[in-house]
Amino acid sequence: MSNYNSYDGNSYGGYGGGDTGGGYMTNSYGGGDTNGDVKYSSQGGADRTIPEGKTRLRPVTMKQIIDATKTHDDAPFIIDGVEVINVSVVGIVRNVTHATTTSTYRVEDSTGMCDARKINRPDEQDFDRSESFPRVGDYVRIIGEISNFNDKRYIALRHMRPITGLDEVTFSVLEPLLVHLQTVVPSSLYSTADVAKSNSSALFTTSYETESLTPLQRRIFDALKTAEEQDMNEGAHIGVIADRIGASRNSVMAACEELTDLGLAYTTVDFEHFKLIM
């Protein structure tokens, strides 16, 4: 596919280019000329269509960087079923290696360790030209591109800055979780509107509830998520759900009402048809 080739050319070309400030924003992977959408299986269970060409800077953990997958060598990395090129990650510098042409910073964020590598250009003023930063033990935010080199995962480093203050550490731990949840669970649960109108504890209460479902609620939730009725206006009838998961109609009815109370499902044409909020 020609797009993948253009991805290689643009991203690495941009990296070596002069405009380091906006380099990662100008990546035109995917462009507007794709001939369709690509289907990826998301961690949320259901297949979902992700439009190509959505280039964004995603906050991630080191574990997500290490676990990111590729469908083939030239394809972009996939996290939670979504293409990811540029990442932002916060961690502690554990090792620094300066060579003539590259500087390598080994950074750890408690979820994993990964090298961030920068190509040194003698003619350029760079973020790491000062003696005092970055050093081993510094808390840093890294912005770069997930890459592989000799089958080893690393971050092609574009920018690094010090983290100052505990509150940014706290925030940076939770930021990747929020984006992960926004990506893999129904968008309505973690929309920006929710963030705006609720404090952080209330925001995550919903996720506690999806994680603390009773086994029966969980089975219904999973069954509905992949059910073909989910695509129809009237949703699934409780009798159908009961047959499908092999539980009694009354218990399914009760569990569906509980899912509704939790804000995960809603009734449609009558009180016996349910649909998940997606």
Partner 1 sequence: MNADGICPRVNAQYLKPYTESVVRLIGRVTQVNGDTAILDAAGSVTVHSTRDLVFTEGQIFEITGRVNADLSVKALDGINHGSDGNMDNVNKMVELVQRHKAFYYNI
Q: Footprint of partner 1 on this chain (CB under 8 A)?
A: 61-63, 67, 92, 94, 108-114, 137, 139, 165-167, 169-170, 173-174, 177, 180, 200-201, 204, 207-208, 211
The nearer residue to partner 1, 127 or 204, going by C-beta atoms, is 204
In whole angstroms, the minimum distance from the beta carbon of 64 to partner 1 comes to 8
Distance CA 217, CA 64 (A): 29
Distance CA 171, CA 173 (A): 5
φ/ψ bin of 257: left (φ > 0), alpha (ψ from -120 to 50), beta (otherwise): alpha
In whole angstroms, the minimum distance from the beta carbon of 226 to partner 1 comes to 21
In whole angstroms, the minimum distance from the beta carbon of 277 to partner 1 comes to 21
The nearer residue to partner 1, 115 or 257, going by C-beta atoms, is 115
In whole angstroms, the minimum distance from the beta carbon of 97 to partner 1 comes to 16
The nearer residue to partner 1, 110 or 248, going by C-beta atoms, is 110
CA–CA distances in Å: residue 98 to residues 102, 220, 273: 6, 55, 64
In whole angstroms, the minimum distance from the beta carbon of 111 to partner 1 comes to 5
Q: What angle do CA 11, 109, 211 make, to 5 degrees?
A: 100
The nearer residue to partner 1, 113 or 262, going by C-beta atoms, is 113
Distance CA 25, CA 7 (A): 13
The nearer residue to partner 1, 1 or 174, going by C-beta atoms, is 174
Tokens representing 244?
A: 């499908």
Distance CA 80, CA 40 (A): 9
